[in-house]
Amino acid sequence: MRLPPVLTRLAAKPPVPAPPLTVWGRTWRFVLVVVGAFVTFGVTLPEAAGTSIEYTATPREALDLALGVLSWVLIWFRRRWPLTIALVLTLMTTFSATAAFAATLAVVSVCARRRTIEVVPVTVTYCVASFTSFYLVDGLPDMPWWVVVLTQVVSTVLVVGIGLYIGARRELVWTLQSRAEAAEQARATDAERARAQERATIAHEMHDVLAHRVSLVAMHAGALAYRTDLSPEEVRESAGIVRDNAHRALEELREVLGVLRVGTEASATDAPQPTLERIDDLVADARALGAHVDFGMTPAVTDAAATLAGSTARTAYRVVQEGLTNARKHAPASPVVVRVVGSPDDGLTVMVRTPGTHGVPGRPARVDAASVLGTAVETRLPSSGHGLRGLHERVTLLGGTFDAGDDATGGFVVRATLPWSR
């Protein structure tokens, strides 16, 4: 037999977990039940039981006391089987007044769970059992029937209300604790996400710094390794370039790693960051290696550079840096075209292009031979594969677009469109 949808939802609602009882909490509840049972049993005894006249308990009174003692045992299991224990104890009150306190405690425990599918049958059973006990245990009461009805309804509402209040307070405390735990977990998750993002930012900065400088060092070192016809002055010049770039790489790396030693409020972007003004240095370094770099920046960008967002300027620098580094690694004999165009209204567009040979007469094919100081030296520099992915993440976080791939002439183009201000 399937339950109606409403009852199914009510039955599926999990109760709020009750806090575990301490030894003192279990003790005072049990003592209250026992004392109340003895008081109730003493009140229900006939007057002859308190006189010197010999008195023998009737079977009904013996049953009353026996059921009361049984209720003391069952009450210890009310949290394991709350609904079953409450119904059994409530039915026992029909024949036993001494079981009333145990039944009341069980009903309060069930109502504290605040499950309608449990509260309704327990409430009805408790109220009906109270009416029945008046006639089976106490006999016909010497009062109007409406007084009996009103008394039982008020007592039932009071017991159920106390249970619902306890359950509501328990649910409130549990909700507040759950929210506090969830907020703490959210803070921990946000902190971990921030740390992961900061580590990724530092990793990107380290890649950008080292890839550019190490590629310059490798190219000049390759010339020294393969050229045997260099004059002493050319050897000293190449060695000086290697030394200078190694020192600059260490300095820039020290700036990035320095944020790891400061307070938690610092970030990788707190270190001095290169902007558009230093793109000329990148172009000069590439040209010093013998590369042909066609660099152009529109006057609109130069005139309004002061209004350019710092994050946009840094990202534009990194795009040019990564484009020149990749050209040096993968197509060292090809010319490179660098363009920085835009305006405050249209945004900033950065393009680094290594032209191909299709439809370009007389242009040498793209090769993997390094042209270092005018010499063809076979040098393949390792590629991490993270540079373009890192640029894509940078540009996307700023709200721009990023493309990298072959163009129609067989060349390779890196293009980033960035917002002028954030």
pLDDT string in tens for the chain (422-residue length): 455 554 455 455 667 777 777 788 778 888 888 887 777 766 555 544 444 445 555 777 788 788 888 888 888 888 888 888 889 888 888 888 788 888 888 898 888 888 888 888 888 888 888 877 766 655 555 667 777 778 888 888 888 888 888 888 888 888 888 899 888 888 888 888 877 776 776 676 676 667 667 776 776 677 677 777 777 887 777 788 778 778 777 777 776 666 555 544 445 445 456 677 788 888 887 887 778 889 989 888 888 888 888 888 888 888 888 888 888 777 777 889 999 998 888 889 999 998 864 434 444 443 333 343 333 344 444 555 567 777 888 888 888 899 888 887 778 899 999 998 76
- Residues in Cβ contact with 109 at an 8 Å cutoff, skipping those fewer than 6 apart: 78, 79, 82, 86, 163
d(CA 9, CA 12): 5
* Cα distance between residue 25 and residue 274, in whole Å: 68
Amino acid letter, residue 264: T
H or E segment and range at residue 218: helix 145-226
> Could you give the CA distance from residue 93 to residue 321 in angstroms, rounded to a whole number?
87
Question: What are the two backbone dihedrals, phi and then psi, of residue 348, each rounded to the nearest 5 degrees?
Answer: -115, 130
Query: Could you identify the residue written with the tokens 């050209």?
Result: 327
Q: Residue 372 in contact with residue 285, Cβ under 8 Å?
A: no
Alpha-carbon span 6 to 12, nearest angstrom = 10
What is the reported pTM? 0.45
- Following DSSP, what letter does each residue of 29-44 receive, concatenated? HHHHHHHHHHHHHHHH
Q: So what's the pLDDT on residue 337?
A: 92
For residues 187 and 131, the answer to whether their CB atoms sit within 8 Å is no
Give, for 342, the enclosing helix (H) or strand (E): strand 336-343
Q: Which residue is it, tokens 């992915």? A: 389
| Rounded distance between C-alpha atoms, residue 134 and residue 420, angstroms | 86
Lookup: tokens for 325: 């580094």
Q: Is the dihedral of CA 119, 122, 124, 126 positive or negative?
A: negative
Q: Are strands 375-378 and 347-354 parallel, antiparallel or unpaired?
A: unpaired
Edge-to-edge strands, sheet with 412-418 = 293-297, 336-343, 347-354, 412-418, 401-406
Q: Which residue has the tokens 């109606």?
A: 4
**What amino acid occupies position 349?**
T
Full set of structural domains in the chain with CATH: 5-142 (no CATH), 186-418 (3.30.565.10)
Q: Kindly state the greatest CA–CA separation across the chain.
A: 136
